[in-house]
Amino acid sequence: MLRQRLITAIILAPTLTFVIYAGGWWYGALVLALLSIGTWEFVRLAHGSGVLPARWLMLPAVWALACGVLWQSGYWLGPAIAGLLVAATAWHAWQYEHGAADPLQSWAVTIAAPLYLGVLGGYLLALRALPDGLWWTLTILPAVWCADGGAYMVGRLAGKHKLSVRLSPNKTWEGLVGGLVLGPLFGALLAAMWEFKVAAGSLLTWQHALQVSFLVALVSPVGDLGISMLKRQALVKDTGSLFLGHGGVLDRIDSWLVAGVVGYLYITFIGG
């Protein structure tokens, strides 16, 4: 298993770096593709729990919401949310009228999944679109990955106190602390390298990178634990099998979805 994980990571790391560096349609297409696959994985988890959301509605809703966040447009985001609510309500009311059971859960998933993936995923797009967004993205996302890896290694070596017995019994408080140390240090190191590539006066400094990397390392486990909750209810180990040794798309981007929001808000806050 470890060998498979290493091979997959060796392939994914340079590929993702290239796409992030290329930006534009390359990056946008990758993020939307991951969100699309993640949507179908979400549907699979729902089916495993006996819930039948409106698949036909969820994918276009995810795209519309992600683009609304990217463009920061109330003229787009507001109607997208309203359209999702109205369409989901109409569909599940019709389904219930024709014999479907438990419409409340199906209706809730039809709305919650696009909001979760579309809105949070939209911030991954918005992060890259910021001034110096290339270098911020190449700082924050690797820092999250390093924090995850650090938490895993420290947890394996020194973990004694369970972080969450029901959701993820292998996670420990010691591992969390390890991630909170290694993730920010790696983020600061990357930013120190990128500082030579940005203009004078840029917000991207190793001090800011240290702060934002600590924040994302602290908050991003919420995404991991949230997806673990859904997998527990659906009685599956992974959300999918796209990445050999790493599971599905949601297994890989769960922390990034939260990190994108935290990173974007931090950068816009310090930028005034």
Query: In angstroms, rounded to a whole number, what is the distance separating the alpha carbons of residues 133 and 124?
Result: 10
The parent domain of residue 183 ranges over 2-270
Find the DSSP H helices in 130-248: 133-158, 173-194, 206-219, 221-234
Total number of domains constituting the chain = 1
The pLDDT assigned to 4 comes to 65
pLDDT (tens digit per residue) in 46-95: 998 889 999 999 999 999 999 999 998 667 888 999 999 999 999 999 99
Burial class of residue 111 in the structure, from the number of CB atoms within 10 Å of its CB (0-12 exposed, 13-18 middle, 19+ buried)? buried
Residue linked to tokens 């934002």: 212
pTM here is 0.92
- DSSP class of 170: E
Stretches in the chain below the pLDDT threshold 70: 1-5, 73-74, 243-246, 272
